Amino acid sequence: MKPLAFDTVIKNEAGWYGGDFHAHTNLSPDGYHSPDELVAVAEAAGMDFVSFTDHNNIEAITRLEKRPSLLIIPGCEVTLNEGHYNLFGVRGWEAWMDGICDMKDDWVVETNGRSLTDLVRITAEHGYLNSINHPLLVPWAWQPDETPLSLLTAVEIINDPTWPDNAQENPNAIAMWTRWLNDGHRITAIGGTDY
């Protein structure tokens, strides 16, 4: 087995790349496929990349191996009552993850006294790329207005277009992101199936 490498380059040329920044395996309560099955789904769809972002769980990245034509971005969806965010670039277990990224069967975990903003700051300091998920989708909307936008790399402006409430919330997220750009913030817009 060739473990995931963090310096993998699939394509060198500039251009548009298609993929999924928000995907779950059966290691999440809302996932259906094993990690290998999800890779097969992404490859069959012709994706260039897929990010594994199970809820508070990094086990999938330990089960995957490097692929020749699909970039696998290891991540985790930090899932709290105040909102959800993805962190990208997970390399393995770190002490700050205790109580956060070791979910068993719970959707939402306790933060050991740390706020969502504290966690975003910690993950940014550890070099992860942070992305707010479905920022306006109730009941999972992002609540902490005090989170400095400078700690964020991206915001998910397109989330699961098949979810009924996203018919309104995705355009609202695009409008929010546009306001941020107009205010001078440089946060990348991304999308994910949340599948």
- Give tens-digit pLDDT for 109-166: 666 678 889 899 999 999 999 999 999 998 888 887 788 999 999 999 999 988 889 8
Percent of the chain clearing pLDDT 90 (strictly above)? 52
SS (H, E, C) 126-195: CCCEEEECCCCCCCCCCCCCCCCHHHCCEEEEEECCCCCCHHHHHHHHHHHHHHHHHCCCCCEEEEECCC
The answer to whether position 127 is within a domain reads yes
Preceding amide of 3 cis, omega within 30: no
pLDDT on residue 75: 93
Within a domain: residue 1? Answer: no
Going by pLDDT thresholds of 50, 70 and 90, the confidence category of residue 60 is confident
Write down the residue that tokens 């009941």 correspond to. Answer: 139
Measure the CA dihedral 50/124/166/41, to 10°. 10
Q: Is residue 13 part of a domain?
A: no
Longest dimension (CA), the chain: 47
Ordered alpha helix ranges (H), 57-127: 59-63, 116-125
- Domain assignment present for residue 53? The answer is yes
Question: Does 105 have pLDDT greater than 60?
Answer: no
User: Which residues constitute the domain of residue 124?
Assistant: 19-192
Q: How confident is the model at residue 43 (pLDDT cuts 50, 70, 90)?
A: very high
Residue 107 has pLDDT above 80, yes or no: no
pLDDT number for residue 93: 81
Average pLDDT over residues 9-30: 90
Average pLDDT over residues 29-45: 93
Q: Would 150 be classed as within a structural domain?
A: yes
For residue 26, the SS3 value is: coil
Beta pairing class for 129-132 and 83-88: antiparallel
pLDDT for 114 equals 80
- The reply to whether 3 falls in a domain is no
- Which CATH number do you get for residue 115? 3.20.20.140
Per-residue tokens: 32: 């259906």
9 lies in some domain: no
Return d(Cα 12, Cα 78) in angstroms, integer: 31
The number of distinct structural domains making up the chain is 1
Tell me how far apart the alpha carbons of residues 169 and 162 are, in angstroms, rounded to a whole number. 12
Q: Are strands 71-80 and 83-88 parallel, antiparallel or unpaired?
A: antiparallel
Q: Which of 114, 120, 164 is nearest to 142 (CA)?
A: 120
* More confident site: 109 or 45: 45
Confidence of residue 194 (pLDDT cuts 50, 70, 90): very high
Is the predicted pLDDT of residue 104 greater than 60, yes or no? no
Is residue 14 in a domain? Answer: no
Name the more confident of 51 and 93: 51
